[in-house]
Amino acid sequence: MINPKMEESWREVLFDEFQKPYFEELKKFLVEEKQRHTIYPHGSNIFAAFDNTPFDGVKVVILGQDPYHGAGQAHGLAFSVNDGVPFPPSLQNIFKELCDDTGCSMPKSGDLTSWAKEGVFLLNTVLTVRASEANSHKNRGWEIFTDAVIRLLSAQKENLVFILWGAPAGAKASLIDAKKHLILKAPHPSPLSSYRGFFGSKPFSKTNEFLKSKAIKPIEWCL
């Protein structure tokens, strides 16, 4: 945490953010938590989204909430799980929509690293969680940090696609300049809300149509 593992272009963009008092408090909190609890993802993966998708390479932002809190699941990319881990329900539904929307075959692995390498920034609004306790690191400073990340992306880049699933993610639209970027909102892919409009929302094909219209290479969504 003292020296976050992330690709250099992000380190430069976020340098000022890392110096702020709230981030120092967040680091202290995480050190204390780690002494008493199991924390996910592993420390080396907390900033995996930043390490796998350089600032200069971001084309798409998919916003999640907090990491999976089961053993072996979270590895620092929103909605993604390590290879060989059963698909959580939200990821199952994302893959169903992927197949319906694009004609891709059902993925055999839930590891979304290849999306990240394509320019899909898989950002959770909170980057850590206590084992077996969803939202246990909510309101500890991560949201201030990730809001700053979203603002920086909106301000410093053009023609991004922001995919916002669910009400908490949708609320982040206020941080994004809709004149410069495409915002795609839909219900969350969790089983509780997926049938309220997530299925059939076609985020993957809509993203690629937009990118192609801006002469940007589309995402290879098939895994």
- Which residues form the catalytic set? 66
Q: Is 112 within 8 Å of 52 (Cβ atoms)? A: no
Backbone torsions φ then ψ of 89, nearest 5 degrees: -55, -40
Tokens coding 138: 């909510």
* Beta-ladder partners of 27: none
Give the burial string for 110-146 (b: 16+ CB within 10 Å, else e): bbbbbbbebbbbbbbbbbbbbeeeeebbeebbbbebb
CA atoms of 216 and 159, how far apart (whole Å): 9
Rounded Cα distance between 83 and 108, Å, is 9
Report whether 135 contacts 66 (CB < 8 A): yes
Separation between Cα atoms, residue 103 and residue 43, nearest integer Å: 36
Pairwise CA distance, residues 112 & 80, whole Å: 5
Q: What is the DSSP letter of 39?
A: E
Closest CA to 120 of 162, 76, 174: 162
